[in-house]
Copies of this chain bind each other. A is one copy, B any other.
Amino acid sequence: MRTPANSALPRSVREALAKLGEDIAIARKKRRISTVSMAERAFISRGTLHKVEKGDPTVSMGIYATVLFVLGLSDGLRQVADRTRDSLGLDIEEDRLPKKVQPRRRKRGLS
């Protein structure tokens, strides 16, 4: 990622990722898996695993997901934005949601 979303992440986002990284490290230790072994199982380098356990935002989602999978925790991913839990926004049945979001148009000829 080479976007401001990298260097200038909102505090709460940075904290959420940091917590995720910590939780991953704890889960790994609970399972008595070394960083070397974990890196091998996830097909990544030890350095990248270290970033994951720090909650580094530049690491790809696929790598996070694979690490979680190795830990048997990938189900958590499915619930992150689960529809049934999402109370915000319009309360419309999924089928009736517009496929494209389009603002109400102005009549032609108005300044």
List A residues at the B interface (Cβ < 8 Å).
1, 3-6, 8-10, 12-13, 16-17, 19-20, 23-24, 26-35, 42-44, 56-66, 68-69, 71-83, 85-86, 88-92, 94, 97-103
Contact = CB atoms under 8 A, between A and B. Distances in A.
Contacts of A12: 69, 74
A1 B80 contact: no
A3 B88 contact: no
Given A13-B77, A17-B61, A23-B82, 8 more contacts: A1-B63, A13-B62, A17-B77, A23-B80, A23-B81, A30-B86, A73-B80, A76-B80
Interface centre among A12, A35, A61 (most CB of B within 10 A): A61
